[in-house]
Amino acid sequence: MIKVLFVCLGNICRSPMAEAIFRDIVKKEGLANDIQVDSAGTGDWHIGHPPHKGTQTILTKYNVSFEGMKARLVVPADLEDFDYIIAMDSENLGNLHKMAGTAKIGQIKRLLDFVEDSKVTDVPDPYYTGNFDETYELVSNGCKHLLDVIKKENLVGKE
């Protein structure tokens, strides 16, 4: 089982959006038994809360389920348990590296690091920008490229 964790600041906008989109793509590709998906935040302000209303609205618009999702905090064990730890921006990437220290951990990268031709490296936080459409487009594109990499690294010849 390949385990993917998406991480943003509060776990109510970007990372739950990525979790929902990635889970949807994985399901449509018939890989739900091969890839486990979760999300978490580096800040604890929204623990236990559902995704932000803006995230809910955009996911509903594209018929992507976010049922049962609740914000949670990244814990040190996540860094060992997950194979791919995907930060939404440089700030959260740095926080994850600090948390990891010298421990043996999964790959920690930004989502847009998987998009070779991306002109941006960080997914803007719609909690502050209000632009959930832009975030959805960037996250969707990043998730598609991430899945391609995961399939190449882990699933080729195992189907």
Q: Sketch the domain layout of the chain as residue ranges.
A: 2-155
Q: Are 71 and 97 in contact (CB under 8 A)?
A: no
Residue of 3, 152, 13 lying closest to 88 (CA atoms) = 13
Reading the chain (159 residues) residue by residue, the pLDDT tens digits are: 999 999 999 999 999 999 999 999 999 999 999 999 999 999 999 999 999 999 999 999 999 999 999 999 999 999 989 999 999 999 999 999 998 886 667 789 999 999 998 899 999 999 999 999 999 999 999 999 999 999 999 875 554
> What is the distance, to the nearest Å, from the Cα of residue 59 to the centroid of all Cα atoms in its chain?
14
Q: Which of 38, 89, 113, 125 is catalytic?
A: 125
Superfamily of domain 2-155: Response regulator (3.40.50.2300)
Read off the pLDDT of residues 84-130 as tens digits, 9 standing for 90 and up.
999 999 999 999 999 888 666 778 999 999 999 889 999 999 999 99
Q: Which of 14, 23, 72, 110 is catalytic?
A: 14
96 φψ region: left (φ > 0), alpha (ψ -120 to 50), beta (else): alpha
Is 14 marked active-site?
yes
